[in-house]
């Protein structure tokens, strides 16, 4: 099974609502959302699909950078390589695009890694869980995302989440730091019994985070995600000594080395596993296993991937045994995507995974063409 072709499809998928994080808009109703679909075909004609969901407001990769990296550097270098040899595939990708401090364009590389997992699964007629020699669990719980600086709107969304049967909320703060506490109080009042994950996306200084954490402890927040800038592991370690709330790292943790440094410094209680920031399923699995063995909790997240990326991540989170509701919320923002047979999202945010080889999604090529961004 040699890689014979890698096709790269830059897409703008239609959104049904805007999405705002501390860094700014990561997609909106007017301009849609940047997604890149990748198809890898081997010399037997087996194909696998993967997805990258870059956002320049979250990290330093863009729709354009993913496309040029894959077309000009990665695809030519991987042609003829054994599609089942993921170690060599990553060695070549990391040689072509060398990281400075981290992996080097992990979101672009993740699309290839994910597509190869899909291809290998289809070639061997096994689901992703079969590749990892783990059990197949076909359901996973999603959290309900609340991202607004308006306490009334936050309360309304929390009420809706609870009534709809969700088990957890994921609240973005730092959008308007003066109103954070009001937003959190409104959510807690409306949904007192849901798992309460609060994500600051690096918005605070250490003194601000300490003050806010004290209020959050009293409110009953379950975990405080990425309060400080990504590079500040010492700050996160200091924060943990001053508060009694579990701290999770997301933007600070991209590689197995990052996980090990965070463990050595005592910088977190949990890490957020995300397939695309970690360079694909291979890297995310490794990071998750290291963190788990080091005694950290695992949270699941995504970068608002469509159903394809959601399904790939869901397989991994089930393999890793993540129990808290995960933040794979792309389909809540997207009007539609090119996946025709894929994961179903049921009442209460339960995902049902397709019981088919590989990732299990059927990508409709006509829809891929329809959403092309170029
Ligand atoms: Mg996060």
Name the residue among 183, 328, 302, 180 with its Cα closest to residue 250.
302
Above pLDDT 70, what percent of the chain? Answer: 100
Q: Is 43 a known ligand-binding residue?
A: no
Q: Are both 74 and 153 inside the same structural domain?
A: no
Supply 50's token pair: 């993967």
Question: pLDDT confidence of 374, banded at 50, 70, 90?
Answer: confident
Taking alpha carbons only, the member of 119, 123, 99 closest to residue 111 is 119
Same-domain pairing of 191 and 321: yes
Contact between 247 and 240 under an 8 Å Cβ cutoff? The reply is: yes
Residues noted as catalytic: 172, 274
Q: Do residues 317 and 273 make contact, with C-beta atoms less than 8 angstroms apart?
A: yes
**Does residue 332 register a pLDDT over 90?**
no
**Residues of the chain above pLDDT 90, percent:** 90
Q: Is position 217 within any domain?
A: yes
- For residue 170, report the distance from its CA to the centre of ligand 1, in Å: 9
Task: Kindly state whether residues 143 and 88 are assigned to the same domain.
Answer: no
Q: Report pTM.
A: 0.95
Torsion sign across C-alpha atoms 96, 102, 103, 105:
negative
118, 146: one domain? no
In a domain, 132, yes or no: no
CA of 191 to the centre of ligand 1 (A): 21
For residue 373, the 8-state DSSP code is -
Say if 153 falls within a structural domain: yes
Residue 226: its pLDDT value, please?
Answer: 98
Domain count for the chain: 2
CATH of the domain at 336: 3.20.20.120
Q: What is the pLDDT of residues 341-354, one digit of tens each?
A: 999 999 899 999 99
Q: Is residue 370 part of a domain?
A: no
Domain shared by 266 and 228, yes or no? yes
> For position 115, what pLDDT does the model report?
98
- 250, 262 contact by CB (below 8 A): no
Token output for 252: 């600070």
- Is there a binding annotation on residue 232? no
Picking from 96, 126, 156, the residue at the C-terminal end of a domain is 126
> 101 is written with which tokens?
């401090």
Residues 218, 300, single domain; the answer is: yes
pLDDT tens-digit profile of 151-160?
999 999 999 9
Angle between helices 86-96 and 281-293 (to 10 degrees): 100
In this prediction, residue 64 carries a pLDDT of: 97
How many angstroms does the Cα of residue 137 sit away from the middle of ligand 1? 25
Could you tell me if 151 and 249 lie in one domain?
A: yes
Taking only the tens place, the pLDDT of each residue in 235-244 is 999 999 999 9
298 domain-assigned: yes
Which of 126, 160, 187 marks a domain boundary? 126
In angstroms, what is the span from residue 250 Cα to ligand 1's centroid?
Answer: 5
Average pLDDT over residues 248-252: 97
Here the CATH number for the domain that contains residue 110 is 3.30.390.10
pLDDT in tens, 130-145: 999 999 999 999 999 9
76: CB partners within 8 A, 6+ apart: none
Strand partners of residue 327: 301
pLDDT reported for residue 31: 86
Q: What's the pLDDT tens digit per position in 62-117?
A: 999 999 999 999 999 999 999 999 999 999 999 999 998 889 999 999 999 999 99
Q: Looking at residue 69, what DSSP letter applies?
A: I
Whether the per-residue pLDDT at 57 is higher than 90: the answer is no
pLDDT, tens only, 193-225: 999 999 999 999 999 999 999 999 999 999 999
List % helix, strand, coil for the chain (3-state, nearest 5). 40, 25, 35
The answer to the question of residue 343 being in a domain is yes
User: CB atoms < 10 A from the CB of 263, how many?
Assistant: 17
pLDDT digits (tens, 9 = 90+) for 12-52: 999 998 887 777 887 888 888 999 999 999 999 999 999 99
First to last CA, the chain: 31
On whether both 180 and 104 belong to a single domain, the answer is no
| Integer CA distances (angstroms), 7 to 26, 265, 311, 362, in order | 25, 42, 20, 16
Q: How far apart are CA 41 and CA 47, in angstroms?
A: 4
Q: How far is CA 209 from CA 57, 171, 217, in A?
A: 21, 16, 12
Identify whether 133 is part of a domain: no
In a domain, 369, yes or no: no
**What b/e sequence results for 243-255 when a residue is b if at least 16 CB atoms lie within 10 Å of its CB, and e otherwise?**
bebbbbbbbbbbb
> Residue 316 CB: number of other CB atoms within 10 A?
25
Same domain, 101 and 190: no
What integer pLDDT is reported at residue 203 of this predicted model? 94
Residues 193 and 338 in one domain: yes
Last residue of a domain, which of 95, 126, 157? 126
Distance CA 234, CA 18 (A): 34
55 and 188 share a domain? no
**Domain shared by 327 and 180, yes or no:** yes
Confirm whether residue 199 is marked as ligand binding.
yes
Domain containing 264: what range? 139-363
Instruction: Give distance in angstroms: CA of 84 to centre of ligand 1.
Output: 31
Angle at 264 (CA atoms; ends 259, 269), nearest 5 degrees: 65
* Ligand 1 center to 225 CA (angstroms): 6
Q: How far is the CA of 39 from the centre of ligand 1 (A)?
A: 28
Q: Work out the pLDDT band at 146, boundaries 50, 70, 90.
A: very high
**How does the average pLDDT of the chain come out, rounded?**
95
How far does CA 144 lie from the centroid of its chain?
14
pLDDT (0 to 100) of residue 282: 98
Tokens 């061997």 — which residue?
A: 124
Q: CA–CA separation, 281 vs 274, rounded Å?
A: 9
């Amino acid at each position: 099974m040699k890689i014979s072709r890698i096709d790269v499809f830059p897409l703008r998928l239609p959104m049904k609502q805007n999405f705002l994080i501390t860094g700014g808009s990561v997609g909106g109703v007017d301009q849609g959302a940047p997604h890149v679909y990748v198809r890898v075909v081997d010399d037997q004609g087996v194909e696998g699909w993967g997805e990258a969901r870059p956002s320049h407001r979250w990290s330093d990769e863009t729709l354009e950078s993913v496309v040029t990296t894959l077309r000009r550097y990665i695809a030519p270098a991987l042609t003829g390589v054994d599609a089942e040899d993921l170690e060599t595939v990553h060695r070549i990708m990391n040689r072509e695009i060398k990281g400075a401090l981290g992996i080097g364009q992990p979101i672009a590389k993740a699309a290839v890694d994910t597509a190869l997992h899909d291809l290998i699964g289809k070639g061997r007629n096994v689901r992703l869980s079969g590749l990892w020699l783990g059990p197949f669990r076909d359901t996973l719980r999603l959290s309900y995302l609340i991202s607004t600086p308006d306490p009334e709107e936050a309360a309304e969304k929390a009420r809706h989440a609870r009534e709809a049967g969700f088990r957890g909320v994921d609240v973005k703060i730092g959008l308007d730091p003066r109103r954070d506490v009001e937003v959190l109080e409104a959510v807690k009042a409306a949904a007192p019994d849901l798992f309460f994950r609060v994500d600051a996306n690096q918005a605070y200084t250490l003194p601000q985070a300490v003050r806010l954490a004290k209020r959050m402890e009293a409110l009953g927040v379950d975990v405080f995600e990425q309060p400080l800038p990504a590079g500040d592991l010492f700050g996160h370690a200091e924060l943990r000594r001053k508060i009694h709330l579990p701290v999770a790292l997301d933007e600070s943790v991209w590689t197995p080395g990052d996980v090990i440094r965070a463990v050595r410094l005592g910088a977190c209680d949990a890490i957020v596993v995300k397939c695309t920031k970690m360079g694909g399923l291979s890297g995310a699995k490794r990071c998750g296993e290291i963190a788990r063995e080091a005694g950290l909790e695992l949270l699941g997240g995504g970068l608002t991937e469509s159903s394809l990326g959601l399904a790939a991540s869901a397989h991994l989170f089930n393999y890793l045994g993540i129990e808290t509701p995960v933040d794979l919320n792309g389909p809540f923002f997207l009007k539609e995507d090119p996946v025709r047979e894929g994961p179903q999202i049921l009442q209460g945010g339960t995902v049902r995974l397709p019981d088919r080889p590989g990732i299990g999604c059927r990508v409709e090529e006509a829809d891929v063409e329809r959403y092309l961004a170029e």
